Amino acid sequence: MEEYIYKNHKKLRYGYTTGSCAAAASKAAAAMLLSGKEISDVELMTPKGIALRLEVLEIHCTKTSVSCAIRKDGGDDPDVTNGILIYAEVTRIPADELEAGGERILIDGGRGVGRVTKPGLEQPVGAAAINKVPRQMIRENLEAVCEKYGWQGGLKAVISIPQGEELAAKTFNPRLGIVGGISVLGTSGIVEPMSEQALIETIRVEMRQKLANGMEYLLVVPGNYGIDFLEQYGHGLDLNDAVKCSNFVGEALDAAVEFGAKGVLLVGHIGKFVKLAGGIMNTHSHNADSRMELLTVHAALLGAPTELLQKMMECVTTDDALKYLKEAGLLKPVMDRIMERMEFYVNHRTQSSIELGVITFSNVFGILGQTSKVPDLVEKIGHQKGGQADS
C-alpha cells in the first residue's frame, strides 16, 4: 500500500488486515472458478473505504475448486503476520444441493486458522476464528462474483494460513482458548500503524470472554510488573485470571462496565498508577507524565520542606522520589492521600457502577497502598473458582 499516516512526527505506511487478504483470495478464487480464467490481481474495497489491488499468488485449479493466496502486508505496524500467505479454496455448491432457507455462501477455516474452544468470543465454540467483519467481506464479495457470472448455486470458501499454528504462540489466542492457529481479523480492512485500537480490542475480547466463562469480578494489571508482583506476593489470586490492559486503564474500566462485570481489582506499579491519582486513565508517557508533580504536591500538602520538594521534582524514577519520602517519614501519609485520589478517579470513570479496588506497589518498597474495597474484591476474585483467597 502507498497510503500513509503521521504519528509522533513519523510518516508511517498503512497495511491491510488478514481479513482483507482472506476476502481478496476468496474473491479471486471464485472469479477464476466461475470464469475458467486465471487472473493475476484482484480488486477489493475495504470497509474503511480504501480500495486495494492485490497480487494473486499460488493459484491451483481443479474441476471443482480453485485455491489461491494473498500476501499479508502489515505496513509499518509491528505485526507477526506480516508477509505470510493467506489462502482461500473456493468450491461450487450446485443449486440443487443448497438447503432450503440455508446459507448460499459457506465459510470455514482450514489449516492454521484457529478454532474457538471457549465461549465469549465473536464466534461460537467450534467455529473457525474468522471474525464478523472478515466473514461479511468474504460473503459480500462471493455473492458479487456469483451475480457477475450468473451462478445460481452457492460457494464454499475455506481459509487456510500454513504458518498460522506456529504464529499463534506469539498472539493472545492460546490465552483466549483459540487453538490450532491464528485468527482472521480486521474491522476496517486496513492496518493502521501503531494502532491503539487494535490493542484495546484485544483487551476487550479477553475481558468479555472471562465474563462469559463465569467470572463476575476481574483482575486487571497493566503488564508484566503486575504479574510479577502477584506471583511474589500472592494475595491468593490466580495469575491466569489477570487481564493485561497495558496503558489503557480507562478503556479497560469502560469495557468492564459495558460487559456487566460486578467489580474490578487493579494491580499496578506506582510508576503508572500514580497517574490515576490525577485522573489520567491512559498512562502512556506520550499522553501525560506528572508522576513527580503528583507525588510532590501531596507531600507539599502534608508540609514537606521546600528542599525535599525540589529533590523530588528532580527525580527520574518514582522509586527515587519514594526514597526521599521514606527518609522524611512521609511515605505512608503521602501514599494514603494518593490512594484516596486513585479511588475517587476510578469510581468517577465508572460512575460508581461497579466495585473497584486498586493496589499499587514498588519493586523497591513493596506494597505502597490499597483502596478501601481491596480486601472484599480479593476475596470475591479468589472464590470465583472455589479457591480461598488470603486478603
Which residues of the chain are under the pLDDT cut of 50?
Answer: 386-391
Question: What is the C-alpha to C-alpha distance for residues 323 and 205, in angstroms, rounded to an integer?
Answer: 39
pLDDT in tens, 252-281: 999 999 999 999 999 999 999 999 999 999
- In single-letter form, the type of residue at position 336 comes to D
pTM for the predicted model, two decimal places: 0.70
pLDDT in tens, 43-98: 999 999 999 999 999 999 998 999 999 999 988 776 789 999 999 999 999 998 88
Residue corresponding to grid cell 474473491: 27
Are 37 and 29 in contact by the 8 Å Cβ rule? The answer is no
pLDDT in the model for residue 391: 37
Residues of the chain within CATH 3.30.2110.10 domain(s) are: 4-191
Q: What does the angle CA 138 – CA 140 – CA 145 come to, to the nearest 5 degrees?
A: 95
The domain defined by 4-191 folds into: CbiD-like (3.30.2110)
pLDDT in the model for residue 221: 92
